[in-house]
């Protein structure tokens, strides 16, 4: 139902859409009370049990197409899942990256890449929770990133550093944004940026080092150093040098999903205060 305020602004009241999803999320969250989250915050731990419960229920595979073992739901449904998590006092940020980073692989990956990774991501056998974008000298202007990937035969050799990469210690795969050619060689600032899918199980100790970063909130965030990490060229997602456009499919979804979490937070604060 659409309504108009006195200022003429249109608002859309969706009501309780996706009621079965909401009920399912609430039932899971009931098993993870505030004491669970307080203890994790105190110990700076990761909510593995919560993430596994959400995986087992199929919620983290909500946006993955059915042909790859997911639910094939629209992004609104994924937003409802995260909103209800936060409205129930849980912390979905520990797992939400899998929902939006998957969009880059789904929309720009080859058929072979999607068949190889998406079914295992859907079941939880593989975790795609890490998104390597921000760098020490690169924040909002992503086009200025310095991490380089140089083609060497059937591999890319990576040197550089990422910061504020959350969940890297608890992820099997990472989407890594890097430069494969200098910015000055492109017609646009975004030219020369590529996306690589890094298998972190193989990369740890073989050219990639992860260090935990201290933060006010227990967000399991890290900095990552690359020193000669070799990544198979077949792990390139999308065309070489056109990766910036590819990651927007993940970043735009991220903004929508995190907004739902914020709405859920507001609901929880109001309900708790009253």
| Pairwise CA distance, residues 91 & 133, whole Å | 22
Convert 24-51 to b/e letters by CB count within 10 Å (16 or more is b). Answer: bbeebbeebeeebbeebeeeeebbeebb
Active-site residue 223, yes or no? no
Cβ neighbour number for residue 175 with a 10 Å cutoff = 26
The answer to whether 61 and 72 are in contact (CB under 8 A) is: no
Tokens encoding 119 = 């079914």
| Pairwise CA distance, residues 67 & 103, whole Å | 15
Region at 18 (left for phi over 0; alpha for psi -120 to 50; beta for the rest): left
Strands 148-152 and 2-4 come out as unpaired
Strands 208-212 and 221-232 come out as antiparallel
Contacts of 248 (CB under 8 A, 6+ apart): none
Catalytic annotation, pick one of 84, 135, 254, 261: 254
Question: What residues act catalytically?
Answer: 254
């Amino acid at each position: 139902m659409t309504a108009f305020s006195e200022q003429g602004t249109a608002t859309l009241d969706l009501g309780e859409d996706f009621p079965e999803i909401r009920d399912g999320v609430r039932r899971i969250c009931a098993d993870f009370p505030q004491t669970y989250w307080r203890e994790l915050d105190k110990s700076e731990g990761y909510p593995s049990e919560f993430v596994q419960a959400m995986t087992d229920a199929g919620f983290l595979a909500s946006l993955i197409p059915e042909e790859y073992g997911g639910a094939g739901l629209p992004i609104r449904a994924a937003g409802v899942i995260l909103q209800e998590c936060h409205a129930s006092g849980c912390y979905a940020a520990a797992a939400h990256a899998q929902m939006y980073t998957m969009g880059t692989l789904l929309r720009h990956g080859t058929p072979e890449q999607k068949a190889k990774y998406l079914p295992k991501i859907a079941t939880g056998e593989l975790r795609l929770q890490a998104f390597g974008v921000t760098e020490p000298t690169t924040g909002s202007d992503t086009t200025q990133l310095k991490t380089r990937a140089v083609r060497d035969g059937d591999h890319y050799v990576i040197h550089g550093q990422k910061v504020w990469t959350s969940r890297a210690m608890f992820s099997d795969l990472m989407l890594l944004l890097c430069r494969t050619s200098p910015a000055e060689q492109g017609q646009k600032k975004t030219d020369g940026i590529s996306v690589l899918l890094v298998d972190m199980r193989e990369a740890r100790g073989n050219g990639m080092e992860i260090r935990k970063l201290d933060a006010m909130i227990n967000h399991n965030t890290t900095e990552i150093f690359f020193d000669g990490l070799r990544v198979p060229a077949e792990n390139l997602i999308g065309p070489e040098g056109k990766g910036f456009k590819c990651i927007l499919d993940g970043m735009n979804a991220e903004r929508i999903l995190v907004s739902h979490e914020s709405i859920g937070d507001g609901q929880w604060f109001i309900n708790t205060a009253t």
